[in-house]
Chains A and B, each alone.
Chain A
Amino acid sequence: MEDSEIVGLFWARSEQALAETAAKYGAYCRRIALDILRSPEDAEECVNDAYGKAWDAIPPHRPERLSTFLGKITRNLALQRSLRGRAQKRGGGETALALSELEECVPARGEVGDALDAQTLATALDAFLRAQPARARRLFLARYWYLLPVAEIAARCGLSESSVKSSLFRTRSKLKIWLEREGFSC
């Protein structure tokens, strides 16, 4: 079924929308959640929650790309769950590692302000990533959007772990400078 038809079912409040979403994007969402949470049970719960969020959001929303719309919801829910696990001292896995790596990007002169609009930061990140070479951008998002371990990124891209790490290091260094230049510090 075409995405527009599935979105139409959401707007018509037909529960068939959920069945069609699960059939078309269930595996995609599960893969995102599983890559972040590394627990099939948690991932399954997360995907079901994502369907519920999508049901609540459509309407009024009418996503242009249903796949990434669902992917973003799933990623956000999985990340929140992973961060909660970290706060409760349950490790946090790749999320904890990714956070420790991203600490390097925080501008040196201060903190990213609490009042900072998340969307403003996302827009700046978007512009930053578009200015990077395609490979560096892809590796950065594989690590920090999909939260894949370095070894898995290397295997999926046919690169060595060292190459992936080098690229991530360079991109993080550039991001720090970019954030400082864009005024993301107190």
Chain B
Amino acid sequence: MLNAEKILLAVGDVSDDLIEAAALPAAPVRRTRPARRLAVCLLAAALLIASLATAMAVSDGFRAAVHAFFHLTAVETGAPADAGETPVSAALGDGVRAVYLQLDSVRDCANGVIRLQDGSALALRDGALVPVRLRETTAAVTWDGTVFRVDLFWQTGDGALALFAEGKTAADDRAWSAVPLGSRTDAVALLLSAGRQEARRERFLLLDLETGATSDPLALCGADGADFTFESGAPDGGAALLRRGEALFLCDLRAHTLRDVDALAGAAADAAWFVSADTLACRIPADGGFAVLTVPLGGGAPAARFSGLQEYAAGSGGMIFTGGRYGLDVAAGGSAAVCDFLTGTRTPIADFAFDANAFVGLSPAGTRLLFARFGGEDGLGLTQLGLLDLETGRFRAFDRAAGECRPGESLGWFDRRSPLLTSAGGALTVYRFS
């Protein structure tokens, strides 16, 4: 038996309380996807969340002292048995409806566009599926002795890019992907990678969608890009957050400057993310917990926003960092509050309890929190789904009838505002919250 096997097996016998505390909130991901593809999707989602988090202004509604949780009495019972390829809509009350789609050859979805296996694409408009044309950009990039042949498809709509972009080379551990850079529709971040997991290396380039030309932002800053990995893009696409080892750097894509985030924050940050186009939030480990401060990128002193935070763990609660402007602070008993890292405000959610089977995630537009509760027997075991609109403070959730709804395979976002549940056989459910 291998030594590492002994350690791995022995890890299985550590104390129950450690195992319970390590249980992570369920993630809205396709569990059966290959890891590389999953990583690309998660990266894209994180980028969208970070880059678009503060695109919309905070309304008066959000400034209310408390968010109200409203548990709808309607229960989702799934698509009608005779539903064909025409979308079917079912009202769940209070401005919430489920739109059921059945397509035989769904490949993937991005920002409201559904790509089919044959390369064609559809969009859901006014309750009907309409064909849309995807544009194609190709490029050949050489890095680390390998030629990466990039072939990506895209479309602009809803104010953001719908991007389908990932591929492999002949070498098994070499891949490329592209992710949107905030609201930019002229260029995307092209990420080349080699190696897996701990040994993974990455190269960050800019790819012009019209011409297919690439440029090296780090070289323009006078830096060697070999050791950097891409973290996220600013909401306006004017800057990118990069990492080299444990150090974070801010790369200004217009002024061609590279700045150390620790120097900007005046403290050692273990994580950072954009909370607006011109503001970066930095997480600072301190006193066994974390403080969060914001850094104005145009100049000025950092501002303390929160302190004494603990990262969320089942049972003991803590902060769920969503990668965007808002986080969910959960108390040990399950009561929760939305924290706005940009302003430092904390808004409790009335009549709501979070638990180990619950999940929250921020929308690509950064203005809605998806809430899901798991525990059922089928597929993801999704038993409850809801959405907190951070602009209006409305938090609506409904139950799903056990055994009647199609078992879910993945939960995520259909577009910038609407949750999407995918099921086996090309069944998609888009949830619209007015």
Contacts and interface: CB of A to CB of B under 8 A. Distances in A.
Interface string A130-162: 100111011011101110111111111111111
Contact of A162 (B243, B310, B381): B243
Point out which of A38, A68, A93, A140 has the most chain B C-beta atoms below 10 A from its C-beta. A68
A126 interface: yes
A126 B18 contact: yes
A146 B321 CA distance: 21
Interface stretch (B2-10, B66-74, B153-161): B2-10
Interface residues of B, number: 60
Contact of A141 (B6, B22, B32, B322): B22
Contacts of B320: 158
Given A27-B374, A151-B35, A64 B16 contact: yes
B20 interface: yes
Contact of A148 (B24, B32, B270): B24
Nearest to B314: A138
Contacts of B374: 27, 31
Nearest to B313: A138
Interface stretch (B42-50, B98-106, B134-142): B42-50
Interface string B220-234: 000000000101000
Nearest to A78: B12
Given A65-B20, A138-B22, A106 B3 contact: yes
B126 interface: no
B25 interface: yes
Interface in B342-381: 374-377, 381
B288 interface: yes
B22 A153 contact: no
A145 B18 CA distance: 10
B7 A145 contact: no
A50 B373 CA distance: 24
Interface string B13-26: 11110111111111
Most B CB within 10 A of own CB, among A93, A105, A122: A122
Contacts of A156: 24-27
Interface in A67-118: 67-69, 71-72, 75-76, 79, 83, 93-95, 97-103, 105-106, 111-112, 114, 116, 118
**Among the interface residues B9, B29, B229, B310, which one has the most CB atoms of the partner chain A within 10 A?**
B9
Chain A binding site: helix, strand, loop or mixed by DSSP? helix
B323 interface: yes
A125 B311 contact: no
B322 A158 contact: yes
Given A26-B377, A112-B6, A126 B15 contact: yes
A157 B321 CA distance: 7
A166 interface: yes
A102 B23 CA distance: 20
Interface in B309-335: 310-311, 313, 320-323, 327
Contacts of B246: 162-163, 166
Interface in B281-298: 288
Contact of A79 (B2, B8, B23): B8
Contacts of A140: 22
A76 B310 CA distance: 30
A76 B11 CA distance: 10
B4 A100 contact: yes
B245 A157 contact: no
B8 A121 contact: no
B355 to A, nearest CB: 12
Interface in B79-96: none
B271 interface: yes
A17 B26 CA distance: 26
Contacts of A99: 2, 4-5, 8
B311 A152 contact: no
A101 B197 CA distance: 9
Contact of A149 (B7, B21, B35): B35
A145 B22 contact: yes
A65 B356 CA distance: 15
A65 B7 contact: no
A26 to B, nearest CB: 5
A3 interface: no
B231 A160 contact: yes
B20 A67 contact: yes
Contacts of A146: 22-24
A142 B42 contact: no
A99 B1 CA distance: 12
Interface of A: 22-23, 26-27, 30-31, 34-35, 38-40, 64-65, 67-69, 71-72, 75-76, 79, 83, 93-95, 97-103, 105-106, 111-112, 114, 116, 118-119, 121-122, 125-126, 129-130, 133-135, 137-138, 140-142, 144-146, 148-163, 165-166, 168-169
Given A118-B13, A122-B11, 9 more contacts: A23-B377, A40-B32, A98-B8, A112-B3, A130-B18, A141-B14, A145-B12, A145-B22, A150-B197
Top 6 nearest A-B pairs by Cβ distance?
A158-B321, A141-B22, A122-B13, A151-B39, A27-B381, A68-B16
